[in-house]
Structure 1
Amino acid sequence: MARKVAIYARVSTEHEAQISALENQVQYYDDILSRHTDWTLVDRYIDEGITGTSIHKRDSFMRMLRDAKEKKFDLIVTREVSRFARNTVDTLQQTRTLKTYGVEVWFTEDNIWTMNDEDGELRLSIMATLAQNESKKISQRVKAGQMISFKNGVLYGNGNILGYDRVGDKLVVNKEQADTVKRIFELYLKGNGVRKIQDIMEQEGRKTATGLTRWQSGNVNRVLQNPFYCGRIVYRKQYVPDYLVQKKINNHGAVDKVYVEGTHEKLVSPEDFDRAQEIREKHRTGKRDKAGRLLGQSPCKNIWGNKCVCSCGHAMNRRVAHKAKDGSDSFVYQCYGQLRTGTPEGRRKKGLDTEGICDNSSFMGWKLEVQADFIFKKVLSNKEAIYKEAMAMAQDVAEVKAPERNDKEMLERNMRQIEKFNRQIANLVDMCTEGDISREVFRSKKKKLEDQILNLEKLNDECRQRVLELEDNEAKDRRIDSLSEFIRMTAFDSRAKIPETVIDNFVDQIVYDHGVFKWYLNPAYGNEIYSQATSDWKKKQLQESMNDKVLLPACTSTGSYS
């Protein structure tokens, strides 16, 4: 029978690449294809240097599943179950999914055909379980070996550490870089801040660990917080909680860190390092969690901070410029890149180079508010068009069947149930292999569980579709509410402030470049771009013009974007 065939191969480690080179695997499959002259090779899907415990880390594997769904082939040839996956649930789920696409998998070494072999899934389950157990044992052996390495002070990784050169498996002091590390600690302990030290490093022509002459505050902070410089080695800064997922996460106390005294040469004394940490702790501000760790910055809550970006690509930082007599704040916006490097003028005064430094000007926040007033009250003042837009969106929402509000909860509940059924199937496999139940009982019970899983997956597909429709409707509802608010606002007070909801729903982005603002409106208004030059604007004059109902300098449309 003529068949369209795909090949799947995986090489996971350097050792394996040596004993079973990829070229050898290609030849292996070529030999198989030569014996089946009625087969047509569609594609080869090969993952190199990727773990087998999780399919989601394998790009070629995921591409193969997508192509299978599009029915580009009807047979996958792979060497053995451990090449396909070392996770029992993944193996069973993916082969079942492939069956629904009409795609069979042939494991050549184990001689398992997932469709034709009567006992194929039972044998596949047994082999997948063995492969997963082997992965677990390997993980345990690796962890045991790591503990021995920790105690012996073995260095992991191959990254650069400022102050040292890597010679074989040891780090040897680099005198020039070591002087830089010592200088950083010296300056910090004398009361200089990180930003000041950053400038001094550039003034003195010192280089970072990667050989750059341009310093960032992060370069200085990494030196100050690295205990390696005082002779201490810290292991388990990150750890892998699940050997099947193989995803590293930062260790905030979930597992014990390991501290050892290294045999490498110290660049600072433990006493000076500890003093530096005490100073750093005093200077650290912000909210902390229950364990005392600093929490990350919360998303910007200011509407202009979310919408406005510098022409160099950085976000704009907002800070208070001054307080008015009525207690209100006036804000100024500046490129975040300049906060890290300094402005060109500031760098010139310090004798630092300005090449590649953003030279964009800062601006006062009231300029954004004035432009918003002009754009939304003048350019979009056609209330009839706005009303038609709102009615069209409302009609779209009404025509779509209202989704269930608890679909997300149902999805989560179904996924938990599917996992439960898969565990039950795995238990049935164990019972069958141990002889506790017959193959007939195994097949019967497994069939019932598989049917339940299939029904739940169909329900999930319907839920996902309704969730997408719900999210789309909710977005339209927000726009309708914004339009309604805009109409009500301008109907009773032509000088009312533009609501943030209107700006949030109808402005994609505002790009600022040396006094010129470009407003990118969202598709509700044809992806329009409005440009406004503001360099010669004076706040007092503009306020007088607005009070006298004089038209502001023209904000012009410059076309649309995609």
Structure 2
Amino acid sequence: MKGKAIEAVGYIRVSTEDQVQNGISLDSQRAKIEAWATANDASLIGFFEDAGISGSRTENREGLVRALSLTCERKAIMVVYSLSRLSRSTRDTIMLAEKLGKAGADLVSLSERIDTTSAAGKMVFRLLAVLNEFERDQISERTATALRHKKQQHRAYSPTPYGYDRVGDTLVVNDRETEVLKRIEASRIQGLSLRRIADALNENGILAKNGGIWYPSAVRSVLLTAERR
């Protein structure tokens, strides 16, 4: 990583439980990232944090959103103490790394010693992607098998999937929701983000299955359920 000026963006996160049980404080994470920057002659052009926030949802973390934006804009290196600080989900972690890669940026995780500026670091992430896809396919297979079994017995799925209504212990097609589902699938094929699809549904007064507003996670769930049927 020597030979040219390096720009880096630090990102740190901690939840109350992490800080109490593991002692991975924000100050400790910051100190380790600063030490890495010094050792690698890197200039820290930004430092962002999310304090007391879970790592389960990216869109709820302002610090992470800003860190990603700056890193991609400057084609810099995002440095985190560990991948768990970035996300609790392997899938989300891979998606974030891919977003950085497409922007010409990189990722360094100190605890796992992952550095996507190197061929070895890229290989590790490719392996993670393969394992994540394998796990996802296994879950899909198990779910599809269970749904087929219930369908053969004319039993309703639980919870009731979008596009259907529950009548006793049987599912019947909901024509209105089926049309909405087709619209969601078409929007996704066109490349719209889950957030944009959710916003469009809300703007048009289309309610989610529970009668509330749409969130990106609800759109993802509907699409995944549709794929498995």
The TM-score bracket by the shorter chain reads 0.5 to 0.7
How far residue 47 of structure 1 moved from its aligned partner, in angstroms, is 0.9
- Amino acid corresponding to residue 191 of structure 2 in structure 1: N
> CA 1:82 to 1:73, structure 2 compared with 1: closer, same or farther past 3 Å?
same
> CA 1:15 to 1:54, structure 2 compared with 1: closer, same or farther past 3 Å?
closer
Equivalent position to 2:36, from 32, 35, 39: 32
> CA 1:29 to 1:68, structure 2 compared with 1: closer, same or farther past 3 Å?
closer
* Corresponding residue SS for 1:55: coil
How far residue 73 of structure 1 moved from its aligned partner, in angstroms, is 4.5
2:67–2:78 CA contact under 8 A, matched in 1: no
> CA 1:77 to 1:123, structure 2 compared with 1: closer, same or farther past 3 Å?
farther
Q: 1:72 corresponds to which residue?
A: 74
Equivalent position to 1:109, from 108, 111, 133: 111
The reply to whether residue 121 of structure 1 matches residue 136 of structure 2 is no
2:6–2:76 CA contact under 8 A, matched in 1: yes
How far residue 115 of structure 1 moved from its aligned partner, in angstroms, is 4.5
- Amino acid corresponding to residue 54 of structure 1 in structure 2: R
Distance in 2 (CA, whole Å) between partners of 1:126 and 1:79 is 24
Higher Cα Rg, which structure? 1
The reply to whether residue 62 of structure 1 matches residue 60 of structure 2 is no
* Corresponding residue SS for 1:6: strand
Q: 2:19 corresponds to which residue?
A: 16
Q: 2:88 corresponds to which residue?
A: 86
Runs of 4+, deviation exceeding 6 Å = 126-129
Unaligned runs of 5+ in 1: 130-253, 255-289, 291-405, 415-458, 466-562
Superposed, 1:259-274 pairs within 5 Å as none
1:399-421 CA distance string (max 9 Å, x none): xxxxxxx8754124x3xxxxxxx
* Corresponding residue SS for 1:54: coil
> CA 1:112 to 1:43, structure 2 compared with 1: closer, same or farther past 3 Å?
same
- Amino acid corresponding to residue 120 of structure 1 in structure 2: V
How far residue 117 of structure 1 moved from its aligned partner, in angstroms, is 2.7
> CA 1:9 to 1:127, structure 2 compared with 1: closer, same or farther past 3 Å?
farther
> CA 1:61 to 1:93, structure 2 compared with 1: closer, same or farther past 3 Å?
same
1:8–1:76 CA contact under 8 A, matched in 2: yes
Superposed, 1:155-554 pairs within 5 Å as 409-412=185-188, 414=189, 459-460=190-191
Distance in 2 (CA, whole Å) between partners of 1:116 and 1:127 is 20
**Bigger relative contact order, structure 1 or 2 (CA pairs below 8 A, ≥6 apart):** 2
> CA 1:67 to 1:408, structure 2 compared with 1: closer, same or farther past 3 Å?
same
Identity %: 22
> CA 1:122 to 1:409, structure 2 compared with 1: closer, same or farther past 3 Å?
closer
* Corresponding residue SS for 1:28: helix
Aligned residues: 144
Distance in 2 (CA, whole Å) between partners of 1:30 and 1:123 is 28
Q: 2:99 corresponds to which residue?
A: 97
1:507-540 CA distance string (max 9 Å, x none): xxxxxxxxxxxxxxxxxxxxxxxxxxxxxxxxxx
Q: 1:348 corresponds to which residue?
A: none
Distance in 2 (CA, whole Å) between partners of 1:128 and 1:63 is 26
- Amino acid corresponding to residue 96 of structure 1 in structure 2: E
Q: TM-score with structure 1 length normalisation?
A: 0.23
Q: 1:49 corresponds to which residue?
A: 52
> CA 1:74 to 1:95, structure 2 compared with 1: closer, same or farther past 3 Å?
same
> CA 1:127 to 1:51, structure 2 compared with 1: closer, same or farther past 3 Å?
farther
How far residue 75 of structure 1 moved from its aligned partner, in angstroms, is 0.5
How far residue 11 of structure 1 moved from its aligned partner, in angstroms, is 0.7
1:81–1:127 CA contact under 8 A, matched in 2: no
How far residue 123 of structure 1 moved from its aligned partner, in angstroms, is 4.7
1:159-189 CA distance string (max 9 Å, x none): xxxxxxxxxxxxxxxxxxxxxxxxxxxxxxx
How far residue 107 of structure 1 moved from its aligned partner, in angstroms, is 1.1
Distance in 2 (CA, whole Å) between partners of 1:13 and 1:127 is 30
1:42–1:73 CA contact under 8 A, matched in 2: no
2:48–2:67 CA contact under 8 A, matched in 1: yes
How far residue 42 of structure 1 moved from its aligned partner, in angstroms, is 0.7
How far residue 121 of structure 1 moved from its aligned partner, in angstroms, is 1.3
How far residue 55 of structure 1 moved from its aligned partner, in angstroms, is 1.3
Q: 1:320 corresponds to which residue?
A: none
> CA 1:68 to 1:24, structure 2 compared with 1: closer, same or farther past 3 Å?
closer
Q: 2:145 corresponds to which residue?
A: none
- Amino acid corresponding to residue 107 of structure 2 in structure 1: V
2:12–2:85 CA contact under 8 A, matched in 1: yes
* Corresponding residue SS for 1:41: strand
> CA 1:105 to 1:124, structure 2 compared with 1: closer, same or farther past 3 Å?
farther
Distance in 1 (CA, whole Å) between partners of 2:38 and 2:185 is 51
Distance in 2 (CA, whole Å) between partners of 1:88 and 1:127 is 9
Distance in 2 (CA, whole Å) between partners of 1:24 and 1:74 is 22
* Corresponding residue SS for 2:108: strand
> CA 1:127 to 1:34, structure 2 compared with 1: closer, same or farther past 3 Å?
farther
Distance in 1 (CA, whole Å) between partners of 2:16 and 2:132 is 20
Equivalent position to 1:4, from 4, 7, 12: 7
Q: 1:443 corresponds to which residue?
A: none
> CA 1:53 to 1:104, structure 2 compared with 1: closer, same or farther past 3 Å?
same
How far residue 120 of structure 1 moved from its aligned partner, in angstroms, is 2.3
How far residue 44 of structure 1 moved from its aligned partner, in angstroms, is 0.7
